[in-house]
Amino acid sequence: MSTQTKVRKAIFPAAGFGTRFLPATKSIPKEMLALVDKPIIQYGVEEALAAGCDQIVIVTGRGKSAIEDHFDVSYELECTLEKRGKTDLLAVSRQVSHMVRLSYVRQKEAMGLGHAVLMARDLVGDEPFAVILPDDVIDAKVPCLKQMMDVFEQVQSSIVATQVVEGPAISAYGVLDGKPVAGNPKLFDVSGLVEKPKPADAPSKNAIIGRYILTPKIFDLLEHTPLGAGGELQLTDGIKGLLQTEKVYGYSFEGVRHDAGDKFGMLKATVEFALKREDLGPAFRDYLKTLKL
């Protein structure tokens, strides 16, 4: 791998159709759906910044311009808020637009997660990078990607975040095969992985979730990987390729992951995030108690 040892860039694939959230996602990018009052992609961008990334690459497609507008300066809005003396709201709006260096690259056809990551190749270059799936919102004391960065500093190899998934639900994930690393129960030395296995064929309960640190070797591999299941280029096929020549680790992160790209997951995340908010939590808790469930 390259001599660069610090992860500075984070790729956000955001060009999918978000079909699980139709009809909302017909005209609104899934990544812009609000969890309480913040688009889900902003949680991920904040996580990447907190982990030390200073360059964000968002992979977009048709109908996704709201994402670019969100992270841009909204001159009219800011002027109006300034005139009205709404300094709190002005700060909220400015905080987003002044956040970070953002680049956008287009995925012309939604040909899978691996293909979306490959679109960012020229912007990433020959250095290790992070991938954050914006619909996985992770609530953690230490941001999940920061936890992974700390592991990366030691292992200097690709790392995929995992969580234990019980029962038939495992079939919705990429699942790791391998063994725990001696002395570090949170790390898993990966020997193989299976995409969306039948429950009986799952090699473990360790499912891959939407946080990765990858070495740039994966770009060459993705470039030469044939389209897989559903005519899509799977990121997991690229990771399988990495395993032929490099170490790959699974990392069982500390925190709670919410699948906000799914209606039920979004509902649960909304309740949990709202309850934790100082401004909304107490009133929301009282309201929930009045519901006859």
Kindly determine how many residues on this chain lie close enough to bind ligand UTP according to the rule CB under 6 A.
23
The H helix count followed by the E strand count for the chain is 11, 13
C-beta of 10 vs 81, nearer to ligand UTP: 10
What are the CA-CA distances from residue 275 to residues 43, 102, 192, 279, 285 (Å)?
A: 17, 31, 39, 9, 6
What is residue 130's three-state secondary structure?
Answer: strand
Residue 26 CB, nearest distance to ligand UTP (Å)? 12
Stretch that binds ligand UTP, among 133-141, 154-162, 165-173, 190-198 (CB under 6 A): 133-141
Choosing from 39, 44, 112, 174, the residue that interacts with ligand UTP (CB under 6 A) is 112
Name residue, tokens 């679109």. Answer: 119
Residue 147 near ligand UTP by CB under 6 A: no
Cα 242 off chain centre by: 20
Q: Buried b / exposed e across 161-194, counting CB within 10 Å, b at 16+? A: bbbebeeeebbebbbbbbeeeeeeeebbbbeebb
- Which CB, 53 or 133, lies closer to ligand UTP? 133
Candidate residues 33, 133, 161, 214; the one interacting with ligand UTP per rule CB under 6 A? 133
Question: What binding mask, one character per residue, do residues 47-86 give for ligand UTP by CB under 6 A, x or -?
Answer: ------------x---------------------------
Residues found near ligand UTP in the complex (CB under 6 A) = 13-21, 30-31, 59, 107, 110-113, 115-116, 133-135, 261
